[in-house]
Amino acid sequence: MHRRSFFRLICLNALCLPLMAQGSHDDQRLEDVTSMKELITLLFGNSKIVTDTSITIKVPRVAANGGSVPIAILSKKHFKRIVVTAPNMKHPLIGIFEVPDGAIIRYFLRAKLYLSYRTTPIVVFAVDSHNNVYRNESKFDILPAGGCEG
C-alpha cells in the first residue's frame, strides 16, 4: 500500500513539472523585455490594436535632460489601463497606469530615456473595460540631449 501511494505521488509531481515551467515563463519581468513585439504579446496577447487619436500625448521635441523627460498623457475617454512605452529604447516599457473607476486620465510623469543620440516616439496603449486595446503615438520623436544620471 505504501509503495503504491509513493509511486502515485511521483507521477503527480511529474505531471506538475510542465505547469511550473509555464508559470516561470509567465513571470518574466516586463521591464526586462527588449522587443516591442514581445512586450505587446505579453501584455495584450492576440488582441487587435486600433489607433485612437483621442489619447493625447505631449512630449518635448528636444529633452534638455535625457534622465528626466516630461511626458503628459490625456484622454477624455475612460480606460482601465494605460501602458507607456518608448519603442526605440533598449527596454521599451516605461510604466503602466491602472486607472481607478471614475478617475480622470490626465497624467504627467518623467521618464529616463537613454538612446545614444537616437530618437524615440512615446507610444501609449490603452485598454478599456471591454479589453479592447487602443494605441496612439506622440506627434514627434524625442531627442534626449543627454542624461545627468549615472
Partner 1 sequence: MKQGKAKIRIFFQKDVVKVKMLIANLMLTEEQAKRKGIKQDYITHIVLTANDQVIFEFKPTPYVSRNPSFTFFCPSTMLHAGDHLTLIWKTSLGETYRFTQRAEER
Question: Distance between CA 8 and CA 135 in Å, rounded?
Answer: 50
Question: Distance between CA 15 and CA 35 in Å, rounded?
Answer: 32
Please report whether residue 30 would count as binding partner 1 according to CB under 8 A: yes
* Placement of cell 530615456 in the chain: 113
Applying CB under 8 A, among 106, 118, 140, 146 the residue interacting with partner 1 is 106
Please report whether residue 98 would count as binding partner 1 according to CB under 8 A: yes
Compare residues 112 and 135 and give the one whose CB is closer to partner 1: 112
Residue 140 DSSP code:
S
Give me the least distance between CB of 61 and partner 1, in Å please: 19
Angle at CA of residue 23, ends 13 and 8, nearest 5°: 10
Please report whether residue 150 would count as binding partner 1 according to CB under 8 A: yes
Residues near partner 1 (CB under 8 A) are: 30-31, 67-69, 86, 89, 91, 93-100, 102-104, 106-113, 149-150
